Amino acid sequence: WPSFVDDIDAILALKRERNAIILAHNYQTPEIYHCVADIVGDSLALARKAVTVEAQVIVVAGVHFMAETAKLLNPNKTVLIPDLGAGCSLADSITAQDVRLMRQSYPGVPIVTYVNTSAAVKAESDICCTSGNAKAVVESLGAPRVIMLPDEYLAKNVAAETKVGIIAWKGRCEVHERFTPADIRELRAAYPGVIVLAHPECPPDVVTEADFSGSTAAMSDYVEREKPPRVVLMTECSMSDNVAVAHPEVEFVRPCNLCPHMKRITLANIRVALEENRHEVRIDPGIAGRARRSVERMLSI
């Protein structure tokens, strides 16, 4: 705790000195999420709110694709990510060349790309989506079929909810792919009445067994709205920690999986990021314009 307090004090002072703000994803640890972040949310909220930022420096407490999205939407601002190793198994599952090959294989079929990808992959896509708007984005295109990259499970979960034909890729989230329907059955037996919320990056048979599926913000909203006496969030561990703070009346059952990438961000490296201006996110101008267009097209929906 003493070092937390020192780091928190230093970060608050550095934010003022540098005219900086911190965007934090829902999977950040509570001391980041509750003590130093200015804007928190799911990937969609962070992208939307990034557009409205007035500060000159944006520190992204999240993973690299989130920092790239913030930079795409704020090309004239300094965007920092405290640890360059904060990646994502979905972003690593596909390259720009893979997207070009998909386009050649399915001529005329629009490409919807999850924001959990590199800017280079976004640049080859027609439009982006997040877990919070994937179905709406797919249906907005008015096409009988779309290619949905790179999360196989998100694509299959959306396919179950729409008449649009979905052609999927084979990427997986290393955190959510580990949940199983047997986990849910065991939880229901051990915690009678527990309400199960699953992120749509979970396998389809997990989503089917759950009571509700939605983005991290949708899960948080569900708890706020329904106030279930007992709930389990089938997602990253910090999510329950962060939501539980506002809901002492709700019992959070805590089996969860850690995202090693999200956990690379700490108070200590946020402080260093602000002190030493690192690591600055830069996007090749040759791809930034096209990647921005895919993100902005999503935000216009």
Which spans of this chain sit near ligand SF4 (rule: CB under 6 A)?
63, 88-90, 116, 173-175, 201, 236, 259, 261-262
Residue 79 contacts which entry, ligand SF4, ligand 13P, none (Cβ below 5-8 A, type-dependent): none
H-helix or E-strand spanning residue 168: strand 165-168
Query: What is the smallest separation between the CB atom of 43 and ligand SF4, expressed in angstroms?
Result: 8
177 binds ligand 13P (CB under 6 A): no
Strands in 78-80's sheet, in edge-to-edge order, are: 39-41, 20-25, 57-61, 78-80
Candidate list 113, 216, 242, 294; residue touching ligand 13P; CB under 6 A: 216
The string of DSSP letters for 96-121 reads HHHHHHHHHHSTT--EEEESSS-HHH
240 binds ligand 13P (CB under 6 A): no
Q: Could you tell me which stretch among 9-17, 41-49, 163-171, 240-248 binds ligand 13P (CB under 6 A)?
A: 41-49
User: Residue 91, CB half-sphere, CA atoms under 13 Å: how many?
Assistant: 20
Within 190-209, which residues bind ligand 13P (CB under 6 A)?
201
CA separation for the pair 200, 12 (Å, rounded) = 35
Residue 261 contacts which entry, ligand 13P, ligand SF4, none (Cβ below 5-8 A, type-dependent): ligand SF4
CA separation for the pair 215, 46 (Å, rounded) = 13
List residues binding ligand 13P (CB under 6 A).
26, 42-44, 116, 130-132, 173, 201, 215-216
